[in-house]
A and B are shown apart, each in its own frame.
Chain A
């Protein structure tokens, strides 16, 4: 049987799909590779760490393999008071962010400064490292403080633990919670131009994402944009009530309750009785109780604390 030949069609098909992929993947890749990180991008990248979605380092999205962001008010080595400085503590074994592993991701200018002056290439995963942002001639770059100032993770964490707990931010692990709990199905991280930004803050710039994964812009906004939520609302108390049961502070909210992120015990180590709380809340809702039951204070290492820290970091 003489088969109809499909030589022309097969070649055309390869040409069409290949051409399409060249234009949509190859050409933009040059533009993306040339993007230099903004200050916000550097902060986001070092706050969130290497990967926030599924990875073999944190297969169940429990907030493992994440840095801590610590606010230092004194030099951790000498103890001299200094202007408050935020540093990113990558403890032993924590994967460094993409910008340290591949400095070219930081962008032209920033890469050279970070490697030469900031010594980021000297950071060792099995020793851990402390990073901070520094400026040189108006250009921000990343500094490996362990190499430049001898601020080892042990020294910095000792200083941080001696200070106030609120100076330690688990925003990196909090972003893991943000991804795992699907916050981004309703809350975008992408204010738009027109009038949108006047409510939710400035839209992101092109260099705001270098080294970040996932970017989790979100596409379906059923709730307010959160890119700058920490600037609009910096009350941890409000956040706590709102996460436990959004209807406590906003009766018309359709947000789910995130009380299960409190874990077993509250801040005082007491077991949280969720059933009792829900019963009392139902009584409050049907009018047989005047005030809603008190929301238990979350413990220092609860997942909700991580998430609130992340909310606070979104400036």
Chain B
């Protein structure tokens, strides 16, 4: 099939091909069901655009369902301050920790959505006591806590596939979800390919200005 790219938004077909298509269209009833050649109504086009934008927007920022340990580093540090140690009541201590770390966490966490993550994964003082030694061990080993997830009562390496580290080895990738997240990037290419493909297919049909006369 020869494609004519002169006026792609009008039609990708040559006038000859359009004529042939129109003749085909007029000459058959397609098994009793004729069909029209209308374009997509403009409001529906907007709806589709909104859908595509929403699909990406709602998935970004790319948070996993498991919180990363970096979120709690400041909590753990705060636990060692005399101010917190002086509080006997666990609930009050937790509230105080949240209060004094407010505004601090963003300095250590690269994730822009940390507030939502903290809200979805609130901790009690008991939970903090369980993960505290694990997070401290990570910190003293010089690991990046953001590469670790808090899964239940354990702090484990995350499933993310991020930037290459300085040594350049693929298996040592950062375990942080980067802005170019693989799945997300594939999605962008995939959607672009889809719309290009559909446009080509649709523009190979006769232009929408032409309507078949359903031979009555």
Let me know if chains A and B touch directly in the complex, using CB atoms closer than 8 Å: yes
Binding site for B on A (CB under 8 A): 2, 4-5, 7-9, 12, 15-16, 19, 23, 27, 31, 34, 191-195, 197-198, 201-203, 205-206
Chain B residues with Cβ below 8 Å from A201 are: 152
Interface presence of B156 (CB below 8 A): yes
Q: A202-B152, A203-B66, A205-B151 are in contact. Are A4 and B24 (CB under 8 A)?
A: yes
A31 to B204, CA, bound (A): 40
Chain B residues with Cβ below 8 Å from A8 are: 1, 200-201, 204
A2 to B17, CA, bound (A): 13
Q: A191-B152, A192-B65 are in contact. Are A16 and B197 (CB under 8 A)?
A: yes
Chain B residues with Cβ below 8 Å from A198 are: 127, 152
Q: A12-B201, A194-B120 are in contact. Are A202 and B67 (CB under 8 A)?
A: no
* Inter-chain contact B201/A193, CB cutoff 8 Å: no
A16 to B151, CA, bound (A): 37
Interface presence of B34 (CB below 8 A): no
Give which listed residue, B121, B159, B200, B201, contacts A206 with CB less than 8 A. Answer: B159
Nearest-CB distance from A173 to chain B (Å)? 29
Chain B, interface size: which category? 20 to 34
* Inter-chain contact A12/B152, CB cutoff 8 Å: no
* Inter-chain contact A193/B121, CB cutoff 8 Å: yes
* Inter-chain contact B24/A2, CB cutoff 8 Å: yes
* Inter-chain contact B190/A23, CB cutoff 8 Å: yes
Give which listed residue, B1, B66, B159, B190, contacts A193 with CB less than 8 A. Answer: B66
Binding site for A on B (CB under 8 A): 1, 20-21, 24, 65-67, 120-122, 127, 151-154, 156, 159, 161, 171, 186, 190, 193, 197, 200-201, 204
* Inter-chain contact B1/A202, CB cutoff 8 Å: no
Chain A residues with Cβ below 8 Å from B201 are: 8-9, 12
Nearest-CB distance from A169 to chain B (Å)? 25
Nearest-CB distance from A102 to chain B (Å)? 21
Closest to B65 in A: A193
A191 to B152, CA, bound (A): 9
A197 to B127, CA, bound (A): 11
**Most chain-A CB neighbours within 10 Å: which of B24, B152, B153, B171?**
B152
Closest 5 CB pairs of A and B: A202-B152, A197-B152, A193-B66, A193-B65, A203-B151
Chain A residues with Cβ below 8 Å from B20 are: 2
**Most chain-B CB neighbours within 10 Å: which of A15, A23, A191?**
A23
A198 to B201, CA, bound (A): 53
Chain B residues with Cβ below 8 Å from A9 are: 201
Chain B residues with Cβ below 8 Å from A197 are: 151-153
Nearest-CB distance from B46 to chain A (Å)? 25
Closest to B21 in A: A4
Chain A residues with Cβ below 8 Å from B171 are: 34
What would be 11 A-B contacts, judged by CB atoms less than 8 Å apart?
A2-B24, A15-B197, A19-B190, A27-B186, A34-B171, A193-B152, A195-B122, A197-B153, A202-B153, A202-B154, A203-B151
A23 to B21, CA, bound (A): 35
A202 to B156, CA, bound (A): 11
* Inter-chain contact B120/A205, CB cutoff 8 Å: no
Chain B residues with Cβ below 8 Å from A7 are: 1
Chain B residues with Cβ below 8 Å from A193 are: 65-67, 121, 151-152
Chain A residues with Cβ below 8 Å from B121 are: 193-194
* Inter-chain contact B120/A23, CB cutoff 8 Å: no
Chain B residues with Cβ below 8 Å from A195 are: 122
A202 to B130, CA, bound (A): 13
* Inter-chain contact B151/A5, CB cutoff 8 Å: no
A172 to B133, CA, bound (A): 36
Chain A residues with Cβ below 8 Å from B190 are: 19, 23
Closest to A200 in B: B152
Nearest-CB distance from A199 to chain B (Å)? 11
A202 to B127, CA, bound (A): 12
A193 to B156, CA, bound (A): 13
Closest to B182 in A: A27
A211 to B134, CA, bound (A): 29
Give which listed residue, A4, A19, A27, A202, contacts B151 with CB less than 8 A. Answer: A202
* Inter-chain contact B152/A203, CB cutoff 8 Å: yes
Nearest-CB distance from B123 to chain A (Å)? 10
Chain B residues with Cβ below 8 Å from A31 are: 161
* Inter-chain contact A205/B1, CB cutoff 8 Å: no
A296 to B33, CA, bound (A): 69
Chain B residues with Cβ below 8 Å from A12 are: 197, 201
A194 to B119, CA, bound (A): 10
A5 to B1, CA, bound (A): 9
A196 to B21, CA, bound (A): 59
A201 to B65, CA, bound (A): 16
Nearest-CB distance from B107 to chain A (Å)? 25
Chain A residues with Cβ below 8 Å from B200 are: 8
